[in-house]
Structure 1
Amino acid sequence: MKQWQLFLAFFRVGMLGYGGGPSSIPLVHKEVVEKYKWMNADEFSDVLALGNTLPGPIATKMAGYIGYRVGGVIGMINGVVATILPTIVLMIVLLTSLSSFKDQPWVAGMTKAVVPVVGVMLAVLTWQFFKKANTDLGMVPSVLLMVGSVILIEGIGLHPGILIAVLLLAALLKRDQPNKEEKAERKEFV
């Protein structure tokens, strides 16, 4: 049953994720976190961050990892196939049929109408991540991280994967350092 649910979840993502990886991320979140509850929002954001640092399409990377986590190697294959199958079929069908309609105004209107919808989906997901960061880190650090990230990515042109890798490394290094309470406990013990 889990394999079937896994296939359906990522098949829906593959079918409805029009516009590539960024448009599929909110759909994966909806299926994995909200509908099937295979992971929580924190775990999903970790998978998304790590997936963004690796090369290749984000939807297939997430499908592979989540599929493996839910159903082992078969689940990984199932998730990846379910994600790419709709794209393969639709590419073959649509490209052969739409090539004759490409100059029609309704085709151009259809593609232009999708852009704002994808933008809203990404904005909603960003707001959810910001609320979670605000809860965990506090308002000031969250805003500083957000503003700093925008400046580094948009202003300086830093690749998002590099920024994510640096932040993950900083978090790992900070985790290994004892905090004030741990230092006080060590002094009492000695």
Structure 2
Amino acid sequence: MAFFRAGMLGFGGGPAVIPIMQRDVVERYGWMTDDDYGDTIALANTMPGPIATKLAGYIGYRVAGLRGCLIALAASVIPTVILMILLLGILQNYKDVPWVANMSNAVVPVVAVMLGVLTWNFIQQSEKALGWSRAILLIVISILLLEVFGLHPAFLIAALILLVLVPFIKRTVSRT
């Protein structure tokens, strides 16, 4: 039901699905912690393809193996495909009607608020893990690299993963 609900209510694509899935996966069903979910999103963003299917597939696999993966993928993709075909056909036919155009325009701020809430949750998790000064420093550096210097997000994510893994590997090697 978690992935079916995300597929049905995730109008706006991946950014709209992420907070819907988080609420179900973390809060409603307790399949993951906030930290696990954040890590899953970070890893999913490094891979090609739609974020919603990557999240559904991985979380389904983690909860119930291959069967869970297949059910989660079907539950998130099939409703989306059906709704997309139906709604886009309707919207296309009535796109010039003012209330339809206004409805389409109203989705943008809703998705922005959902992303803002998700971002705030990640900032709070970062503060808990790193402290405010390190979290804010990483956020500012990330914004500069992405927005000012135009660095692709995959490179930033890879660099941050390496930043975490290198000290871990050094500690592991030095113990042996």
TM-score bucket of the superposed structures, by smaller chain: over 0.9
Structure exhibiting the larger radius of gyration computed from Cα positions: 1
After TM superposition, the structure 1 stretch with the greater mean CA deviation from structure 2, 157-166 or 47-56, is 157-166
Distance, in Å, in 1 between the alignment partners of 2:25 and 2:9 is: 15
Structure 1 segments of 4+ aligned residues over 6 angstroms from their partners: none
What residue number does 1:55 align with?
48
What displacement does 1:136 show? 1.2
Distance, in Å, in 1 between the alignment partners of 2:133 and 2:91 is: 50
Would you say 1:148 and 2:148 are equivalent positions? no
**Correspondent of 1:103 among 96, 113, 119:** 96
Distance 1:117 1:97, change over 3 A: closer
Identity among equivalent pairs (%): 53
Residue deviations 1:78-113, cap 9 Å, x none? 111111111111122123333220111111111111
Which aligned pairs between 1:91-170 and structure 2 lie closer than 5 A?
91-170=84-163
**Correspondent of 1:36 among 29, 33, 47:** 29
**Correspondent of 2:11 among 3, 18, 21:** 18
Distance, in Å, in 2 between the alignment partners of 1:26 and 1:95 is: 23
What residue number does 2:75 align with?
82
What residue number does 1:4 align with?
none
Corresponding letter in the other structure for 1:164: I
**Correspondent of 1:176 among 147, 169, 174:** 169
What displacement does 1:146 show? 0.3
Distance, in Å, in 2 between the alignment partners of 1:19 and 1:95 is: 12
Structure 1 stretches lacking a partner, 5+ long: 1-7
Query: Normalised by the size of structure 2, how large is the TM-score?
Result: 0.94
Q: Give the aligned length.
A: 174
Aligned CA RMSD, in angstroms, stands at 1.5
What displacement does 1:176 show? 2.2
